[in-house]
Amino acid sequence: MKKSILAFFLILALAYPFIEPYLIRVGEVTVKSRDVPAQFDGRKIVFISDIHCGPLFSAERVTALSEQINGLHPDMVLLGGDYIYGKKRDDVGLIRPCISPLAGLKAPLGVFGVHGNHDNWASHKIIGEVLAEAGVVDLDNQAAWVESEGGRIRVGGVGDMWTETQNLEPTVEGTKQKDFIILLSHNPDYLDSLKDKRVDLVLSGHTHAGQINMFGLWASAPVTNKNYVSGIVETPYTKAIISNGIGETGLPIRFSAPPQIIVLKLEKI
């Protein structure tokens, strides 16, 4: 009997890392700031990153993910890059099926995103074109004002640190200290370069929380600063939220690093 129980738990332990990638968690974070316009108080923003559609994450799962996000009734959706998986997918016929399901996202204030390193390894140009086809506003070193009922916030992005240059100027240009500014940076290591207090919130992915995360004690995350593996981080200049991401690379496994949809609720104080 004891051997049977031991065998059961051994099998479960071996199988679980292959199960966790399907256990997408929805986490809510309240973002409080005096810079949030009254018109945006209570607004809901959904942030996801690192879908990595390809051999480990099918286009059908991207469709299901979009439907799950719509079920959260977001006012805005922000995407942190790495929509695909692979360095040689420079074929629009391979890329389009992965990104086109994002056209189904429903958010009255818009859907915005930046590129990740995998996207640029494939084709920065094609990814940009297909994002536009899907109705996603490309914020790679770009920015936009998002307006509602007479109030507005600034949403911008910088290029991926491994494959592009980073230009913050379009995001902060023409803004004031009192404006609420959200910045998308695929790689959270950019936080060490960000020295502008006008940016209220940075949203990043890239790390997958290590995919194998030993309960926060150790994780092999692809970042230089090991404080940027996952979760909420504060620097002297800004606050950041680093997502575990949705998909995987290497092997289709996760341990103590579940895939994540982050729901941000804005609150004016």
Over its C-alpha atoms, the chain yields an Rg (Å, rounded) of 19
174 burial type by CB count under 10 A (0-12 exposed, 13-18 middle, 19+ buried): exposed
Collect all residues with Cβ–Cβ distance below 8 Å to 235 and sequence separation of at least 6: 191, 192, 194
CATH fold of 2-268, please? Answer: Purple Acid Phosphatase; chain A, domain 2 (3.60.21)
Q: Where are the beta strands (DSSP E) in 174-230?
A: 181-185, 201-204
This prediction has a pTM of 0.94
In the chain, what are the domain boundaries?
2-268
Q: Which of 16, 43, 21 is nearest to 209 (CA)?
A: 21
Reduced DSSP (H G I as helix, E B as strand, rest coil) percent helix, strand, coil of the chain, to 5: 30, 25, 45
Q: What is the pLDDT of residues 110-145, one digit of tens each?
A: 999 999 999 999 999 999 999 999 999 999 999 999
pLDDT per residue, tens digit, the chain (269 aa), is: 677 677 656 676 778 999 999 999 999 999 999 999 999 999 999 999 999 999 999 999 999 999 999 999 999 999 999 999 987 777 788 899 999 999 999 999 999 999 999 999 999 999 999 999 999 999 999 999 999 999 999 999 999 999 999 999 999 999 999 999 999 999 999 999 999 999 999 999 999 999 999 877 788 899 999 999 999 999 999 999 999 999 999 999 999 999 999 999 999 99
| Per-residue tokens: 89 | 């997918």
Q: What is the pLDDT of residues 241-261, one digit of tens each?
A: 999 999 999 999 999 999 999
Distance (Å, rounded) from C-alpha 245 to C-alpha 56?
Answer: 14
